[in-house]
Amino acid sequence: MQLKALGHSGLRVSAVGLGCMNFGMVCNQAATRAIVDAALDCGINFFDVADMYGGPLGEAEALLGRALGARRREVILATKFGGQRGSREPGVRGGGSPAYITRAVEDSLRRLGTDYIDLYQHHFPDAATPLEDTLRALDDLVTQGKVRHLGCSNYDAGQLKAASIAARSGRTHSFVSAQNRYSLLYRDIERELVPIAQAQQVGILPYFPLESGLLTGKYRQGATPPADSRFARWRGGGAFVSPGRWATVAQLEEYGGRIGRSLLDIAIGWLAAQPWVSSVIAGVTSPGQVRANVQAASWEPTAEDLARIAAIAPVPPAAPAPGG
């Protein structure tokens, strides 16, 4: 397994990380343990969870903590705070406040069964709290040894730049990573966020790299999806599918057939080859999916492969400015 730099943290993370979103919702403790064991056996050292994941709040953290057990110190453990489920607003109002952060980190440490978190990420921006206050509270956690490094998730380019400026002016620790939606079918962050991240030595952690299964190759347009699949639960893929997306998938598969690579190889291998990507966070529901993702990341596309794939699935044009 290739290891890549996690921004300017000094940490080296596996090119494919394990997304733990399904723990507690789809995977019980036995399934979680099997997935974690498979990930460790495959060389994955980066595990990403959040306090809002799972059935009951925090259940995913608890399942992951028990599954890691004594092997916890072998991994780079990342979790998030400040998000909520079942609301139109995914971010908690005040979820970046010092009081909220102080409570959240203690709860996560307890559920994960550890005394430190390697990467603590603000899950969603909090407009109700000045960034300076959020960073100061997080800096205190680093000083206390409860957290090693800081990251953000779902920040846009302007928010990431503002956080960097606030960290410098306040002389606090800065974000080393930015976790955002990013895939061959969702390349929007390349326009503005990626250049800022590169300038600040912030590693990109893509989530939804397979667009909830659309880029795995196991679904076909117009065909009935497997009964136990996410596409079946969402009645055909929901917002993840459209005629244009199906057309792009078909072109990617056609190119893969010419070079002897699967759609999964192309989706993960292309992302992992991007110099700004630290680790591709892929959620799974079985050990077999872990092994398939790791195998896909072992492909090293040539410069020609990268260019041809990018041309098939280009960065979409920016939306016109209001009134433009």
Question: Which residues does the annotation mark as catalytic?
Answer: 53
Q: Which amino acid is at 250?
A: A
Report how far residue 131's alpha carbon sits from residue 125's, in angstroms, rounded to the nearest whole number: 9
Which of 32, 21, 36 lies closest to 72, judged by CA?
Answer: 36
Geometric angle at alpha carbon 225, from 224 and 229, rounded to 5°: 155
Within 10 angstroms of residue 61's Cβ, the number of other Cβ atoms is 29
Report how far residue 208's alpha carbon sits from residue 191's, in angstroms, rounded to the nearest whole number: 18
